[in-house]
Structure 1
Amino acid sequence: MSIVIRDVREHELDSILALNNAAGPTILPLDAARIRRFHDTAEYFRVAERDGTLAGFLVGLGSDAEHDSSNFHWFRAHCERFFYIDRIVVASRRRGGGVGRAFYADAQSYAELRYPLLTCEVFLEHDADPVRLFHGSFGFREIGQHVMPESGIRASMMAKDMCSHAWVRDTYGEELPDEPWLLRPRVAVAESSAA
């Protein structure tokens, strides 16, 4: 019954694409090329397993990433340095079972050592109140709204201060200690498979 959060594996990309495109109107559809690009370039691309099956995924990008999302560019115009959750998808049969909270805890643990702000958006159409409440209960606040020009969808632009970031930056600068748990997720997988 435990939830395991781990780095995505290349052979899972088709399953992740299907999961994304079955998520409904609160998640924009993707194609295989976009999933491949996330796999090849995203700073954070992790999946959740529950009972040995894929339960969801989360894609995150740092503020310096090359990313064409208008929501990402909105944050870039309004925030100096941030970690952006591009998308989180939880399989419908796993919603309400803690997978989303496990993802956010893992993403926050990653982000707070590297960025002062954790950001995401919530679409305001399609009964967004449960999703906004989830984010609010996790410490996010709305810092603005944005209408996506490519779809006309209005999004609540949300942010959460990473309260540990200032201490980490002041203590360690840009060089975190050489500890396995501090490695960027994708780097850790590459190094462990090379050994």
Structure 2
Amino acid sequence: MALAIRDVREHDLDAVLALNNTAGRSILALDAAQLRYFYEHADYFRVAEIDGHIAGFLVALRDGADYGSANYRWFSAHYPAFVYIDRIVIANAYRRHGLGRVFYCDVTSFAEVRVPLLTCEVFLEPRDDVVVLFHGTYGFQEVGQQRMAADGPQVSLLAKDLPSYAYVRETYLERGGLPAEPWLAERERPRSPDTHPRRLAGERRP
């Protein structure tokens, strides 16, 4: 079994959309326009490919995005710099094989050289104790709760400190930037003309 974690490509989008919308109640449905937004704007959008098949994906955004998710906006109101995991989906045939931990290790490596905090939420209605336990054992702590819309589910808002970030900031980000290594590079994606360079975590917004 050959596994590759790679940036999403445009020709993957139909498979990603189908995978998302058959994932069950714990994953909010997407339409093609919403998925296109992630393709064009998400800072992290990677798929797991196994023997040529899309086995899962993870989407994450940094602070400062124009994104309407109530949970993303909650973190924006409480923290100046973070990476927010919007969703992770694993195909049924590949669940319970450790792909979730592979993705979380990968997104942590992406986040810890850019921001001090990795964030996400888990649904409490319906509650999935396997998901809650997974996040707890991976170092996430609950920092709040909220209901998604008046009749939406209650969610637990989670955050994980990334202690390596302080070293990266002082050693590299404040002294010219990260080394030009492929694994440290931003993902290539379509960008709108008004896209602004990312600020250092902790800098004030203009």
Task: With the length of structure 1 as denominator, give the TM-score of the two structures.
Answer: 0.92
Shift of 1:151: 4.8
Shift of 1:25: 0.4
- Which residue of structure 1 aligns with residue 200 of structure 2? none
Matched position secondary structure for 1:27: coil
- Residues 151 and 48 of structure 1: CA distance in aligned 2, closer, same or farther (over 3 Å): farther
Higher helix share: 1
The C-alpha deviation readout for 1:75-119, integer Å capped at 9, x for no partner, is: 111122100001100111111101111110110000000010000
Which amino acid is 1:57 matched to? Answer: F
- Which residue of structure 2 aligns with residue 43 of structure 1? 43
Moved more, 71-80 or 115-124: 71-80
- Residues 151 and 53 of structure 1: CA distance in aligned 2, closer, same or farther (over 3 Å): farther
Could you tell me the percent identity over the aligned residues?
57
- Which residue of structure 2 aligns with residue 191 of structure 1? none
Contact 1:3 / 1:99 at 8 angstroms: preserved in 2? no
- Residues 148 and 161 of structure 1: CA distance in aligned 2, closer, same or farther (over 3 Å): same
The 5 A counterparts of 1:1-195 are 1-149=1-149, 151-174=151-174, 175-186=177-188
Shift of 1:149: 1.2
Matched position secondary structure for 1:144: strand
- The total of aligned residue pairs comes to 187
Matched position secondary structure for 1:185: coil
Moved more, 126-135 or 81-90: 126-135
Between the aligned partners of 1:131 and 1:3, the Cα distance in structure 2 is: 23
Matched position secondary structure for 1:127: coil
Matched position secondary structure for 2:188: helix
The C-alpha deviation readout for 1:10-40, integer Å capped at 9, x for no partner, is: 0111111110010000000000000011111
Structure 1 unaligned segments of length 5 or more: list them. Answer: 188-195
Moved more, 116-125 or 168-177: 168-177
Q: CA RMSD in A?
A: 1.3
The C-alpha deviation readout for 1:36-88, integer Å capped at 9, x for no partner, is: 11111111111001232111111110011111100000111112210000110
Which amino acid is 1:177 matched to? Answer: P
Contact 1:44 / 1:186 at 8 angstroms: preserved in 2? no
